Structure 1
Amino acid sequence: MDDIKNKVIEILADVTSTDEETVRSWDGQDLFQNGFLDSMGTVELLVQIQDELDINVPVSEFDRSQWNTLDKICDQIRKL
C-alpha cells in the first residue's frame, strides 16, 4: 500500500471516528452509498487533505462520483 493511500486511510479514520483497519475494509466500496461519508464528512475530508497533504481541492470541482471510493480519492489526490 502506498503512502497516499495510507494517509487517506488515516484521514478517513479520523473524519469518520473509525479505526484504520475498518477503513481498510471499505476498499472498493462506495463511501457515500454505504453511509461511511456524508456531506459534513466530505467537507472535513477535503479540509484535512488540504491541511495534511498541502493539496488544494477546489470544492467547486468536487464530483462525488470521482471521490466515492478509497482508490478514487487516492487517484484524485495524485492528479492534484
Structure 2
Amino acid sequence: MDIKTTVIEIIDNLFMEDISDMMDEDLFDAGVLDSMGTVELVIELESTFNIKIPVSDMGRDDWNTGNKIVEGVKELQNA
C-alpha cells in the first residue's frame, strides 16, 4: 500500500472521516483534526511508517492537509 492510501486509511480509522476527496482542504477547519487528534495522528504515523516526527515539524500550517501529511511522511522516510 502506498503512503497516500495508508495516510487516508489511518485518518479514516482514527477520526471516522474519509479525506480522499479533500486532500488539499485544511483538516482543522474541516473539523477532522484538533490538538488531541494531532497527537493521536502523530503516534499512529510514527508507528506505521517507523519514523520520528519532531515536535518542531508539527506546526498547524505544516501538516494541516492530507497532501502535506503525505509529503511530510515521505520526507521523514527519506531523511
When the two structures are superposed, what TM-score results if normalisation uses the length of structure 1? 0.85
Structure 1: tracts of 5 or more residues without a match: none
Provide the residue aligned with 1:9 in structure 2.
Answer: 8
The alpha carbon displacement at 1:60 in A equals 3.6
Structure 2: tracts of 5 or more residues without a match: none
Provide the residue aligned with 1:26 in structure 2.
Answer: 22
- For 1:7-46, what per-residue CA distance to the aligned partner results, in whole angstroms no more than 9, with x for missing partners? 100111111123xxx3212221100111111111100100
2:45 partner letter? I
* Matches for 1:1-80 after TM superposition, within 5 Å: 3-18=2-17, 22-80=18-76
Q: CA RMSD in A?
A: 1.4
Structure (1 or 2) with the greater helix fraction: 1
When the two structures are superposed, what TM-score results if normalisation uses the length of structure 2? 0.86
Number of residue pairs matched? Answer: 76
Q: Which runs of 4+ in 1 moved over 2 A?
A: none
Percent identical among aligned pairs is 41
